[in-house]
Amino acid sequence: MQVIGYVLIIIALGRFLAELFERIGYPGIVGEITAGLLLGYFLRDVPAGEMNLLAEFGIFFLMILAGLEITPDELRMGGREALPVYLVTLAVMFFVTLPFTNYSISTGNILAASILAVASAPIVVRIKRFFGEEYLHVALSYAIISEVVILVLVYVLASFEEAHDPSDLAITIVKQVLFIGGVLYVNYKIGIQHKIWLITQLRRLRSDEAVFGAFMILAATLGFISEEVGMHFTIGAFLAGLLLHSDLVGTRQYERLETILSGVTYGIFAPIFFAWRGMNFRAEVTLATAYFFLAIYLVRFLLTVVLTWDGRLLSSIAKATGLVSFGILGLLVSDLGNSYGVLTGELYSISALTSIGGIFLAATIGRGLSFLRRSSGKGL
């Protein structure tokens, strides 16, 4: 079968199960991942190279949309609450992983802890209707912080494993900091001095396709630079989305861009990405890893409830559910870490299982909270 045949099957089943799950109250992403898990058992000889490329387009567009969902000011304000929660969670998850390496510190511990502490920005965006808008900025800020950390960390740790000269690693980290800082500085300067000029130039573009094309050039350029400085290309995609927020480019241009991106992403590439990650789920699931996953989820969930407590039980549970959504990006980083030799054995299996299982648990709890909210007729 040609690659287009596999794409057809994946999109068709993914969209079918997404619609089915939507009808029973779950976000469509759960159906798309389920489609991948099912197809992994039945499809053989799938052209991995071509499918990996299409899946990378999926995470590329998903990270762009995550960037568009939040402005730098909202990220800064949400980050004030989210960053301490993330740092405490990361520390707790690090200590949780130590028994698997006989209480010795390794790069595997560090990467596994960052995966177990992650939340997925694309998934936070997709399930926001379960929790209401008030939780979104904190949860999305947490997700962005945690995703940037693991996407940088997996390459830094792989470089550390291979580094013959520590100065090379230090230079790489400096380049990454300068790149991210430079992009945010440009965003600040444009917002202060050239906002009206930018909006005027965008309005001169006659078609939505021209707006989309100009934005894709920016996103691809930042993605390319991200890889050149030793980071995952999706960090550049996210920064591109963050740059062109509605406050900077104007509501009309923002809506034109978001409409096209949403159709391309959720109609084509996101189902492929989520299904392909499900199809490549190869972690060895044993009773011990399943128990450990549930223990991790419970520990992190209760910890997050305590750290985000606002005096209202259901509201704090809603925030915790969003922040403990884990996410498919954790599975991607688990696979990358495994291929680099950083994450192996039980740590890999637990990281991969938690990334998948956390999504299903978050969606289930979110559905229950949504039902309680409708039944009471009050906000959380």
Q: What percentage of residues in the chain have a pLDDT greater than 70?
A: 86
Is the pLDDT confidence value at 299 over 80? yes
Q: Can you tell me the mean pLDDT for 82-96?
A: 91
The confidence band for 380, taking pLDDT boundaries of 50, 70 and 90, is: very low
Topology given in CATH for the domain delimited by 60-267+288-376: Na+/H+ antiporter like fold (1.20.1530)
Name the residue with tokens 């109250």.
25
Residues 338 and 9: beta-carbon distance below 8 Å? no
Among 68, 66, 57, smallest CA distance to 211 is for 68
State the Cα–Cα distance between residues 337 and 249, nearest whole angstrom.
Answer: 37
The confidence band for 349, taking pLDDT boundaries of 50, 70 and 90, is: confident
Q: What is the pLDDT of residues 173-215, one digit of tens each?
A: 788 889 888 888 877 777 666 666 666 766 676 677 777 888 8
19-41: burial string, b at 16+ Cβ within 10 Å, e else: eebeeeebbbbbbbbbbbeebbe
Q: Can you tell me the mean pLDDT for 51-61?
A: 88
Residue 224: what pLDDT?
A: 94
Angle 266-269-270 from CA coordinates, rounded to 5°: 55
Name the residue with tokens 């502490």.
117
State the Cα–Cα distance between residues 196 and 305, nearest whole angstrom.
Answer: 43
User: pTM, whole model, 2 decimals?
Assistant: 0.79
- Ranges 222-231, 313-322, 356-365: which has the least confidence: 313-322
Residue 94 tokens read as 């690090």
- Domain limits, the chain: 60-267+288-376
**Residue type for position 100:** F
Residue 202: what pLDDT?
A: 67
State the Cα–Cα distance between residues 160 and 170, nearest whole angstrom.
Answer: 10
Q: What is the pLDDT of residues 3-21, one digit of tens each?
A: 888 888 888 998 899 889 8
